[in-house]
Structure 1
Amino acid sequence: MDTASSLVWYPCALNKLPYAEPTNMSIFDPGLSSSAKVLGCTNPKCGWLANPNVNDRCQGCQTNKNNCNQPCPPYFYMNGYASSIGVFFSESLRFTNKAVMNDFVIGCSNTTSIWPAGVSGFGRGPGSLPAQMGIKKFSYCLVSHAFDDKAKSSELVLHTGPNTDENDITLQYTPFHRITEASFSVLNEYYYLSLEKISVGGVDVNVPSKYLVPESNGNGGLVVDSSSMLTYMDKAVYDMVSQQFEMLKNPEYARAPADMEDEWGLKPCFIVPSKNPMDFPELTLHFEGGAEMEISMMEYFSYSDDQDLACMSLVTSDSGDAGNAVGPSIVFGNYQQQDLYLEFDLENERLGFRDQTC
């Protein structure tokens, strides 16, 4: 599940295409489905995920006639270090309650750099699973990464019934922000949130508002991304937050040598004697509307018993942004979403959250 993209795709067997890669993973074979059919380039749904201009995506066809047999152009999907190439199909979904949804658009990936079981895009685009199914609300709670090697799943709930604007008293809410003049189309798929401030150990970090509040072009603000592991911050924000940690940390914790930080790929890192429990100031995100999310110490610091080393589990780009970064300033990753119940209320345009053991 990926809240930062809007393509639903699966590893696929397409024998007529030359790029299919061998894998032991179960794959979708459209040739075995009586309802699967290649999506045509003149189909309006092709414009959801390809070029929205029908004349551009169906070059060589007379799009005003019904004799164009060109398929929807292939897609190229990237997510971090993973990439996938494939074609669009229209398929029927059959649910356990025997309900059937026809003409659901899926990506049939015949080439990927990494072979996951597939990705269900839950972003804000029209091709996402929630948009195609007409879902008004979805929620999930990610189990701790401590269970990564165990057969333990996180819970995802799709709310298909009537929605209300009533508040769940157990949740804190903050509104989503729509991007109206996105500098890149992908920014339209993100769930943007606005921050009032960031605090460390109860002390406000002096982060300029241009990083906290999303602009109409999609620059600034925070987006929730279930597929990114660690939370990313623009270098300017990251530097201010990490400096605040260093000032407020336990004075007994010495900064780790640079070679140890390089080995971990995280910084700052500190030497924390194993005989004592970790003691770091809390990190709090203060959202628009007064909602406050306190990130527990175990979710923003990683600890190694072998080395008595604790490293801040936030990342940035070493290249810096010089105040000219494009896109969100903070990408809230799944490591910081552990044991956090998140409710995406699409009808009321808001995110609800609470601490919860998942």
Structure 2
Amino acid sequence: MASFAPIFAILLFLLVSLSDAQSSFRPKALLLRVEKDASTLQYVTKINQRTPLVPVSLVVHLGGQFLWVDCDQNYVSSSYRPVRCRSAQCSLARSTGCGDCVNGPRPGCNNNTCGATPDNPFTRTATGGELAQDVFSIESTDGSNPGRVATVPNYIFTCAPTFLLEGLARGATGLAGLGRARVGMPLQLAAAFSFPRKFAVCLSTSGIIIFGDGPYSLLPGVEPSFRYTPLFINPVSTASAYSLGDPSDEYFIRINSIRINDKPLSINTTLLTIDSKGNGGTKISTVNPYTTLETSIYRAFTSLFTQEAAARNISRVPAVAPFDVCFSARNVFSTRVGPSVPYIDLVLQGQNAVWTITGSNSMVYVNNDNVLCLGFLDGGSNPRTSIVIGGYQLEDNFFQFDLAASRLGFTGTLFGSRTTCSNFNFTSNA
């Protein structure tokens, strides 16, 4: 764990000019609407950027270093400014390179500019890009409703070439990076508007991301109640490309043990901690559609789950790709928290920090709902990270990432509170 106070002070100094532009309007928090792309299972949001403002569709990357967009195709803006070499913004982005461009000047191609390395985590591809600043516009919120639009005149982002879009949801022209990096969206926006270094994520077929503190409210007037567990910093970057000595900007937690129907899983617990080379541990990711487990953990997990399912007279059936473990839905009842299957407990570090995964987040209906598959995948025998908690397991759970305190707040499934992440009130304004 680490304090972000020095980083925040630097950001606040760099963005102090924003106070004049925003003096008449200080939003309490900021809001992104999120939709799940049915084809790729990616989570997609939209911002407005440039002068004049243009809607920009972005894939959400929870651990991404920064916001990057394709500047090769149709990037037109009178307010675009490249970040110059050896500038404070360049240092803030941890850039070690400067460059010139023979085909400019244009957005993404200018002389004496600061270099950055945008990456596509879905294809594990990274390339060189130009660090830049431009107008950035986003809705505000009081935690219950959308409000007035807030504007950042000099938001720092990275220009990337068009080929980096490969594998992204149709229509997306970049990534929204929500990682710990100093130029990631959470720290930049907190500095620009002087609100707490926190952000909340609530994903579903449609969901929300809120930058800033709560209270948060979902219809019908449900405010999430959090349990907390520490966030850990992996000392070695997990990006597709990085400089030696860079820590990871992704979000890691510590699982101490796993239980199925209160029965503990027998696993090699050394896999649950991050070693000095950055291997092991557990991270939370919107890149992986389903949770992946290191092979020995996966085998123990699926063996015990299948055993507990059989005790409930739930019959195993042939696998349906990409899943290995599937069951007949015939003897599985529906409950408020999903199919009635064995509960999975992730016992996290912290007092009462148990994340219970019910059928709503463990089982996936396939084959016209006649078959239920366990939504966990084999991550291989020697993965970089032992457990990667994927998007499906995050859905309709409310999470708060507190960067100042380096802790994660989590609720468990919202279905138990008779609400979902789709129940944010977009029909009226704050």
TM over 0.5: yes
Correspondences of 1:164-243 after superposition (within 5 Å): 170-180=225-235, 185=242, 188-243=248-303
Q: Which amino acid is 2:316 matched to?
A: R
Correspondence 1:245 to 2:290: no
Deviation readout 1:42-75 (Å, 9 max, x if unpaired)? 334345557x434xx4599xxxxxxx93333363
Matched with 2:212 is 159
TM-score under structure 1 length normalisation = 0.75
Per the alignment, do residues 248 and 332 of structure 1 end up closer, same or farther by CA in structure 2, a change over 3 Å counting?
same
Q: Is the 8 A contact 1:250 1:279 kept in 2?
A: no
1:274 deviates by 6.5
Matched with 1:36 is 80
Correspondence 1:315 to 2:358: no
Matched with 1:271 is 328
Q: Is the 8 A contact 2:332 2:341 kept in 1?
A: no
Q: Which amino acid is 1:313 matched to?
A: G
Matched with 1:138 is 199
- Mark the runs of 5 or more structure 2 residues left unpaired by the alignment: 1-59, 102-109, 140-147, 215-222, 415-419, 422-430
Structural RMSD (CA): 3.1
Correspondence 1:346 to 2:403: yes
1:222 deviates by 1.3
Correspondences of 1:84-163 after superposition (within 5 Å): 86-94=129-137, 100-111=151-162, 112-113=165-166, 114=168, 115-133=171-189, 134=191, 136-143=197-204, 147=205, 153-159=206-212
Matched with 1:65 is none
1:216 deviates by 4.3
Higher mean displacement: 281-290 or 268-277: 268-277
Q: Give the one of 296, 316, 319 matched to 1:255.
A: 316
Per the alignment, do residues 183 and 110 of structure 1 end up closer, same or farther by CA in structure 2, a change over 3 Å counting?
closer
Deviation readout 1:303-351 (Å, 9 max, x if unpaired)? 236373221101123x522xxx43x211111111111110011111100
CA distance in structure 1 between the aligned counterparts of 2:375 and 2:182, rounded to whole angstroms: 33
Secondary structure at the aligned position of 1:178 is classed as: coil
TM-score under structure 2 length normalisation = 0.64
CA distance in structure 1 between the aligned counterparts of 2:314 and 2:236, rounded to whole angstroms: 46
Higher mean displacement: 298-307 or 94-103: 94-103
Secondary structure at the aligned position of 2:264 is classed as: strand
1:173 deviates by 0.4
Q: Is the 8 A contact 1:38 1:90 kept in 2?
A: yes
Correspondence 1:294 to 2:356: yes
CA distance in structure 1 between the aligned counterparts of 2:180 and 2:253, rounded to whole angstroms: 13
Identity across the alignment (%): 21
Q: Is the 8 A contact 2:236 2:247 kept in 1?
A: no
- The structure 1 segments of at least 4 consecutive aligned residues displaced by more than 6 Å after TM superposition are none
Q: Which amino acid is 2:404 matched to?
A: E
Q: Is the 8 A contact 1:176 1:349 kept in 2?
A: yes
Q: Which amino acid is 2:305 matched to?
A: F
Per the alignment, do residues 275 and 301 of structure 1 end up closer, same or farther by CA in structure 2, a change over 3 Å counting?
closer
Q: Is the 8 A contact 1:88 1:108 kept in 2?
A: yes
1:93 deviates by 2.8
CA distance in structure 1 between the aligned counterparts of 2:210 and 2:93, rounded to whole angstroms: 25
Matched with 1:23 is none
Q: Give the one of 61, 67, 70 matched to 1:2.
A: 61
CA distance in structure 2 between the aligned counterparts of 1:218 and 1:320, rounded to whole angstroms: 16
- Mark the runs of 5 or more structure 1 residues left unpaired by the alignment: 15-19, 21-26, 61-67, 148-152, 162-167
Aligned length in residues = 310
